[in-house]
Amino acid sequence: MMPVDIAIDTLIAVAWEAGVDQPRTARVYNCSSCTGGASWGQFRARLLRHVRAHPFDAALWYPFGLVSENTLMQRFLETTLQTVPLYLVHCVHKLCGVKSRPSMKTVSKRLHAMNEALKFFALREWDFCTDNVQQLMHRLAPADATVYNLDPGTIEKLLYLWLPRVEERVYAAPARLQHLAALVDALPAGLLAEITPQLISPKPNTYTFTKAMAESVVAERASTANYAVAIFRPTIVISSLRHPFPGWIENLNGPSGVVVGAGKGLLHVLSCGGGRRADMMPVDIAIDTLIAVAWEAGVDQPRTARVYNCSSCTGGASWGQFRARLLRHVRAHPFDAALWYPFGLVSENTLMQRFLETTLQTVPLYLVHCVHKLCGVKSRPSMKTVSKRLHAMNEALKFFALREWDFCTDNVQQLMHRLAPADATVYNLDPGTIDWESHCEDFVKGTRRYLLKEKDQDIEAARRRMHFLYMLHNFTKLLLALLACRLAVRSTPAILRAVAVLTRLRRRGATGAISV
């Protein structure tokens, strides 16, 4: 998407250049935000956040929205959450004699038509070449450039102005080390466990709390130490980009646990903001940066602790994009013995997330656990334990998945430009080299191969099972849709009778008021 003023400024500049150069052939200018634009998931999240903060007059319902790439799922959600409610409001308006222009029935049809018109573009991506616009932008005189804004990069800078900024410096300790040590030594373990949430607040867990404490202690001792000190802060570390192998991973922490849960058909609901940036970093880039940080600290011998934020900055994917790519690739490269067809929903609303998690994840896993018990099937771990672990993983991740930070990476950028060309070919410090689509595919393949130890020759059997699960999944959705329609048809007469009764009571009340 492109703001209209930037588009008009670019059009004026294009007309000026065409008048100056007088080209003999038609010169084409693609006015696009390129890779710096927001995803549809980010647009949805920001739109909902702002329409709730700045509501319109006479809103019919609280603003919420779901997105789906699957046509059948989209039709089902549109019918149940949009068309049926609008038709019910239309019926109520008719019964109560309320005239609305346009009617809710017409509104429903227009919304459907708008969605049909947009979906061709919303379900696809294009890579627009903008070389002519870039050359034009650099050709403008500085005085003209201040008047005519041709740079879509300014949009991204404005988008991140509201984010909490994490500077490359040591922040104040959340508690004094001496007081904390005395408290831990003095209190019994049971009482200490009770007060831990209050003690570490506002940190979400003891891991981030102890990291903040450690940074403070290191910075405090750095001034008196006889050696160089540097603090290295990577964001969420994921599978490798290139070394030792593309997609290499060896633990279930963080997003790799999400990949396993989704690929095995166990995890279906995640508490996160689909439009929020998933600031993830491949482990080999993080390690290369760490080695370069150690080299610079050894060369410069800084007297104070120098901090390096290792972040993908504004170039990373959103959680919504990560979800879409993950589902696409775990379906293309399925894991062995998947329980169900991989699908997933994300929600920022805690109540909605709990409801979806219970109905789509916890209850089915407990039912499978009961079936295993009745049939004498032993699974390690049990489905009951798996359900609890998935819930715990979601609770641990949601603090980070529901928030965004703007990391300052000036020190890492300076270090990257300081490396000799020969070293830069060996040590990759640049997150801009990541192709997130292909890396997500390598992430899934690497999880299958290196973490789950599944053999490549078994992939065809896994694909046959995935095809069966796909058919079963769609049959189940169709069955549930038919049951919902049957329930709606059966309950419609009762609803209409109730509306009629309310209408008669309203008219009687109005007649009584007039006679009085």
Packing angle, helices 363-375 and 383-401, rounded to 10? 160
Tokens of 466: 């995935």
Mean pLDDT (whole number) for 276-284: 91
48: which residues sit within 8 A by CB, 6+ positions away? Answer: 63, 64, 65
Report the CATH architecture of 204-454. 3-Layer(aba) Sandwich (3.40)
Q: Is 206's pLDDT higher than 60? A: yes
Assign 53 a pLDDT band (cuts: 50, 70, 90). Answer: confident
Q: Is 227's pLDDT higher than 50? A: yes
Residues 20-43 pLDDT 10s = 889 888 889 888 876 556 677 777
Short-list 430, 406, 429, 432, CA closest to 167: 406
Residues 445-461 pLDDT 10s = 999 999 999 999 999 99
Contact assessment for residue 32 and residue 128, using Cβ atoms and an 8 Å cutoff: yes
pLDDT at position 272, please?
Answer: 87
Element (H, E) at 68: none
**Rounded Cα gap, residues 251 and 459, in angstroms:** 22
Mean pLDDT (whole number) for 212-231: 86
What share of the chain has pLDDT > 70, as a percent?
94
Place of tokens 């050359």: 135
Sign of the alpha-carbon dihedral angle for 367, 370, 376, 382? positive
Q: Give the long-range contacts of residues 336-339, CB within 8 A, separation 24 or more.
A: 336/452, 336/454, 336/458, 336/461, 336/462, 337/264, 337/465, 338/263, 338/264, 338/265, 338/462, 338/465, 338/466, 338/469, 339/264, 339/265, 339/266, 339/368
pLDDT at position 70, please?
Answer: 78
**Residue with the larger pLDDT of the pair 364 and 495:** 364
pLDDT at position 392, please?
Answer: 92
Short-list 41, 30, 44, 42, CA closest to 2: 30
pLDDT at position 104, please?
Answer: 86
Mean pLDDT, rounded, of the chain:
86
Task: Locate the domains of the chain by residue range.
Answer: 204-454
Burial class (CB in 10 A: 0-12, 13-18, 19+), 446: buried
Assign 498 a pLDDT band (cuts: 50, 70, 90). Answer: confident
Mean pLDDT (whole number) for 295-310: 91
pLDDT at position 497, please?
Answer: 80
Residues 96-141 pLDDT 10s = 777 878 888 898 899 999 988 888 888 888 888 888 888 888 888 8
Query: What one-character DSSP code corresponds to residue 333?
Result: S
**Rounded Cα gap, residues 214 and 485, in angstroms:** 58
Mean pLDDT (whole number) for 238-260: 92
pLDDT at position 160, please?
Answer: 46
Q: Is 190's pLDDT higher than 60? A: yes
Place of tokens 């407990």: 366
**Rounded Cα gap, residues 509 and 238, in angstroms:** 66
Burial class (CB in 10 A: 0-12, 13-18, 19+), 376: exposed
Q: Is 360's pLDDT higher than 80? A: yes
Residues 418-428 pLDDT 10s = 999 999 999 99
Short-list 160, 497, 89, CA closest to 312: 160
Assign 69 a pLDDT band (cuts: 50, 70, 90). Answer: confident
Secondary structure (DSSP) of 131-197: HHHHHHHHHS-HHHHHHS---THHHHHHHTTTSPEE-SSPPPPSS-HHHHHHHHHHS-HHHHHHHHH
Mean pLDDT (whole number) for 51-65: 84
Assign 516 a pLDDT band (cuts: 50, 70, 90). Answer: very low
